[in-house]
Structure formats: structure tokens, C-alpha cells
């Protein structure tokens, strides 16, 4: 494991920005987001005088006399799902300056020294440390599916036992709602890490190809509240151009760069976009799954009719025979092809937007997942189960009062520095060139949904993906639903046993 020391020096320049609030799905009883208004660009000044009331939040006073507060995380240079912007050696640009300011303010508030331990064996370190009663870290930032596995083995502390108000805007209140089960909350998102914001997937579209193929811009559909599955698929199906060799490769032009698999296959994300929920917590505070198989089957049939045609190509086929070493993996390689005008659409997240920011011509645009139909009230966006989130080791050797105070204040400071720098400057200013795309980013950010079944290893999405792949959803679900019901029953029992 490698330690990254965060220097406790006086900051030369402070960044003063507006707060960015990380929000997920606004709730109804079904957990559905409510976004009833069609997104438009604001051209008016909201006006009004600012209140002179001091709204600065009050945090508990404490001094931990130089105690080290340590985060164990994936590396910020990891090929996938890196732990960005936790520590920094020195302020050299906007983001590192924001991180530096946040960390210095938190260190000075509580008399601590923040450290980051980078590891590729986080689960092993947590289990070994908890079992031995000797931990050299206080909190964990790792992939949520890995943390969920630790939680089920009793290795994670319950966030609900901390003295923190998760309704505060520097925490994700919807994450607290959707990941709570049996009164327990083992993983949580806040503004300290940008990983949660970067984990939701939406569509990038190629504006150059919109022009070349004389297509309707998705933004036009969105403004008319007509960005539906049907119109999306019609656009995808309108783009295919062979380079002349008669062989389907990444050198041709396609309507969709298609991702496969139960975790992040386009079909799975688009189910969420169409308002499908994989699971919910029932009135008995237990996990349950009730799927509208007929609706899902209709969506899958519509997708298959296009996805199996000439206008779509997978990452694997588009990169076949190519040397992807310089890009790290086939996904980065193919997103580079998107930037070279080979695909109309690619579904990805904010974290990879830098790979498209230098496109020639009109560049890219941003669109939410399409709705099932125009009557659907909201857009919806699925959180990647592999994206990073916070966990806390369950050990008597830790000072949970300190963890509570530091995590809360650290997240608050981040909401004033790191999140604005990342979202308003890095993403909105440097990576998009159309004001309407910033409206789209706000829309995506406000409609993130969480699903506890996928994170905790219930095979709902696996069964759905199998049904989509073999073209026989009804029989597949009928075959696998009993095993899934058993998984859910065992899960509810095991959750109930956790202290």
C-alpha cells in the first residue's frame, strides 16, 4: 500500500464559488424521481435581495490534537473507477487547489491530519484489520458492490449510528433513503467524493453526425417533451456508413456504440430510463422485487429490433484487432473513436467526458436516458454499481465521534470547494460548449436513482440481461425468479441479523 501525505501548509489562494448540491431522485412512495417541467434555458434574472440571515451551519467543536484521519481507497490513477480528489500534495490547478483548501479547512477545524492510503486489496485490508482489532484507516472509499459484500459479513459500521443529519445538502438524502434496509445504512454518498456524481450514465451524442445525416437534434425532442425510446431508436437506426471495405469494424460509422452485460449494458440502463425499478423496500422494511415483465418485454423487443441491426456495434467488435494499450482498455479506445465521429451515441458518465472534450466541429451534446413515452413524468438514470462510495469499518478500535464530526464537516467543506470546481468548472465550463448541455447535466444529476438489489448481489439484472440476450424474457424470468426470491429471503434474514 502506498501513502499519499496531504501537506498541512497555508493555502496561497482560496477558491470562492457557489455551492453545488448533489441530488438524486426526488421521492414518491415508489422511489421515483419527479421532474415534471421540460428543461429550458433560463434567460431571466431571478432578482430579489439576498437575505442577511446567517445560514452558516454549526458543527460540533472538538480538537483531536494531531490525530491522523485516514482514508483507504482505490488509486486516483486506477484504470477504472479511480478515487479522484481525496488528497493532493500541493495546489497546482483548479481541482487540486479546491481539494487542498477543503482538506486544510477540515484539518484546522478538528486538529487532524488527513491521509490517504491507496490499495488494490481494500476488502482484504478491512477484514484483516477488523478481525485483528488494529486498523490504520478510519473510512473506506471503494466500489459500492465490494462494500456491500463487506457489510453482509458484518465488517461495516451503520451510518445511521453516526450523529449526522443526512438531509443536509452536502449528503445525498436519496442515497440514504434507497440504500437503507432494515433500518441500517452501510454505504453512503456525500460531496467529499465526486465518484457518486460521476457514476450515473447518460447519452453523449455526436453533433457532427446529427448535421451530416440531417437528423433532429435530441435537444429539440427534449424541449418538446418528446425524447422517448421510439425517437431515440429512430435516430440510432438512421446512422450507418461502411468505409468501403464491407467489413464491420470501428472504422465505419454507427448509430450506437453498444455496451453489453448485466451491470452496464445499454438495455439495463434504458430500463431504468423507462421507469422500471428492479427492487424496492416494502412496508415491512424488507427488500422485494415486483417487475412488470410485459412492459420490460416490450422495451426489450424494441431495443433488440435496432441493436441487432447494422446501426449498432459493441465495444468488443469496434476494437477487435486494434492495439488499445495506449488507451488503457477497449472502452477508452472506443470513446476516442466516438470523438472521431464514428458513433452517433455512446452511453457513459461524466467521469469520462474529458475523452470527448477535444472533438472537432460541433463536438458532442448531452441527452438524458429517453423516457418510455411522453406521458412519463420524469427522466431516470442508473447509478453504476461499481462506482465508488463511502463505507466505515466496524471496529471498537475506531473513534466514531471523530469519524462523524470529520466526515460531516469534510463533506460540507467539499460542497463549497471541490464540488463546484468539479461540476461548474471542470465539467460545465471546460467539457461542454453548449449552454443547453449544462441544463442536461443538471437534469441527469437531479434524477439519479439507486437500487439496493444490484449492489447487494441479488441477480435481478443478471436475469433480465439473460432474457434480453436470448430473446426470451418471460421464460428466463420464470426459470430464475424462484432462485431470486430465495436470494431476497436470505438477504432479508441476514440483514436482520446484523447489529
Cell of 408: 460531516
Q: Is residue 221 part of a domain?
A: yes
Q: At what angle do helices 293-307 and 229-237 cross, to 10 degrees?
A: 20
Same domain for 409 and 469, yes or no, is no
- CATH number of the domain encompassing residue 263: 3.40.190.10
Three-state SS at 204:
strand
Query: Domain range spanning residue 90?
Result: 2-28+62-198+385-433
Same domain for 243 and 351, yes or no, is yes
Residue 66 · residue 76 · CB < 8 Å: no
What pLDDT is attached to residue 16?
34
Same domain for 8 and 151, yes or no, is yes
Q: Is residue 406 part of a domain?
A: yes
Separation CA 120–CA 1 (nearest Å) = 8
Q: Is residue 37 part of a domain?
A: no
Number of domains in the chain: 2
Residue 258 · residue 368 · CB < 8 Å: no
Phi, psi torsion values for 117, nearest 5 degrees: -105, 125
Q: Is residue 251 part of a domain?
A: yes
Same domain for 81 and 212, yes or no, is no
Same domain for 289 and 151, yes or no, is no
Same domain for 154 and 296, yes or no, is no
Same domain for 371 and 222, yes or no, is yes
Q: Is residue 43 part of a domain?
A: no
Q: Is residue 367 part of a domain?
A: yes
What pLDDT is attached to residue 11?
35
What pLDDT is attached to residue 37?
53
Same domain for 392 and 465, yes or no, is no
What pLDDT is attached to residue 15?
36
Dihedral sign, CA of 409, 415, 416, 421? Answer: positive
Same domain for 468 and 321, yes or no, is yes
Q: Is residue 47 part of a domain?
A: no
Same domain for 72 and 175, yes or no, is yes
Q: What is the mean pLDDT of each run of 10 residues along the chain (499 residues)?
A: 41 34 38 49 44 78 98 90 87 92 98 96 97 97 96 97 96 93 95 86 96 98 97 98 94 97 95 95 93 97 97 97 91 94 94 80 94 97 91 97 98 96 82 86 89 94 97 96 96 91
Same domain for 109 and 165, yes or no, is yes
What pLDDT is attached to residue 39?
65
What pLDDT is attached to residue 470?
96
Q: Is residue 488 part of a domain?
A: no
Same domain for 186 and 100, yes or no, is yes
Amino acid at each position: 500500500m502506498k501513502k499519499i501525505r496531504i501537506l498541512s501548509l497555508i493555502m496561497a489562494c482560496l477558491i470562492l464559488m457557489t455551492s453545488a448540491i448533489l441530488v438524486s431522485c426526488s421521492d414518491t412512495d415508489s422511489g421515483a424521481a419527479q421532474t415534471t417541467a421540460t428543461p429550458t434555458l433560463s434567460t431571466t434574472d431571478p432578482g430579489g435581495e439576498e437575505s442577511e440571515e446567517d445560514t452558516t451551519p454549526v458543527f460540533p467543536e472538538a480538537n483531536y490534537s494531531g490525530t491522523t484521519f485516514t482514508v483507504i481507497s482505490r488509486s486516483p490513477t486506477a484504470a477504472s473507477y479511480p478515487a479522484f480528489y481525496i488528497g493532493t500534495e500541493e495546489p497546482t490547478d483548479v481541482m487540486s487547489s479546491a481539494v487542498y483548501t477543503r482538506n486544510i479547512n477540515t484539518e484546522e477545524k478538528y486538529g487532524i491530519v488527513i491521509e490517504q492510503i491507496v490499495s488494490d486489496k481494500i476488502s482484504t485490508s478491512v477484514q484483516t484489520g477488523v478481525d485483528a482489532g488494529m486498523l490504520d484507516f478510519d473510512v473506506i472509499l471503494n466500489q459500492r458492490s465490494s462494500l456491500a459484500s463487506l457489510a453482509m459479513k458484518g465488517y461495516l459500521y451503520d451510518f445511521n449510528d453516526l450523529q449526522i443529519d443526512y438531509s443536509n445538502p452536502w449528503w445525498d438524502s436519496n442515497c440514504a433513503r434507497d440504500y437503507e434496509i432494515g433500518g441500517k445504512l452501510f454505504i453512503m454518498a456525500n460531496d467529499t467524493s465526486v465518484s457518486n456524481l460521476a457514476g450515473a450514465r447518460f447519452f453523449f451524442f455526436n453533433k457532427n453526425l446529427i448535421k451530416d445525416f440531417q437528423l433532429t437534434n435530441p435537444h429539440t425532442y427534449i424541449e418538446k417533451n418528446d425524447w422517448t425510446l421510439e425517437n431515440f431508436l429512430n435516430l440510432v437506426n438512421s446512422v450507418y456508413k461502411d468505409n468501403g471495405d464491407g467489413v464491420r469494424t470501428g472504422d465505419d460509422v454507427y448509430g450506437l456504440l453498444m455496451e453489453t452485460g448485466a451491470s452496464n449494458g445499454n438495455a439495463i440502463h434504458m430500463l431504468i430510463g423507462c421507469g422500471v425499478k428492479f427492487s424496492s423496500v416494502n412496508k415491512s422494511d424488507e427488500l422485494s422485487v415486483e417487475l412488470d415483465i410485459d412492459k420490460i418485454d416490450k422495451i426489450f423487443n424494441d431495443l433488440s429490433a435496432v441493436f441487432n441491426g447494422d446501426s449498432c456495434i459493441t465495444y468488443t467488435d469496434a476494437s477487435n484487432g486494434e492495439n488499445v494499450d495506449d488507451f488503457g482498455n477497449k472502452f477508452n479506445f472506443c470513446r476516442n473513436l466516438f470523438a472521431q465521429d464514428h458513433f452517433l451515441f455512446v452511453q457513459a458518465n461524466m467521469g469520462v467526458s474529458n475523452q470527448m472534450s477535444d472533438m472537432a466541429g460541433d463536438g458532442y451534446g448531452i441527452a438524458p436516458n429517453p423516457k418510455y413515452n411522453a406521458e412519463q413524468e420524469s427522466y431516470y438514470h442508473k447509478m453504476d454499481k461499481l462506482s465508488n462510495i463511502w463505507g466505515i469499518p466496524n471496529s471498537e478500535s475506531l473513534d466514531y465521534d471523530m469519524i462523524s464530526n470529520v466526515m460531516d464537516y469534510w463533506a460540507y467543506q467539499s460542497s463549497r470547494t471541490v464540488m463546484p470546481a468539479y461540476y461548474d468548472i471542470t465539467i460545465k465550463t471546460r467539457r461542454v460548449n453548449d449552454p443547453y448541455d449544462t441544463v442536461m447535466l443538471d437534469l441527469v444529476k437531479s434524477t439519479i436513482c439507486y437500487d439496493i438489489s444490484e449492489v447487494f448481489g441479488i441477480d435481478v439484472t443478471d436475469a433480465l440481461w439473460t432474457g434480453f440476450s436470448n430473446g426470451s424474457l418471460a421464460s428466463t424470468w420464470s426459470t430464475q425468479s424462484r432462485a431470486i426470491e430465495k436470494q431476497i429471503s436470505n438477504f432479508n434474514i441476514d440483514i436482520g441479523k446484523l447489529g
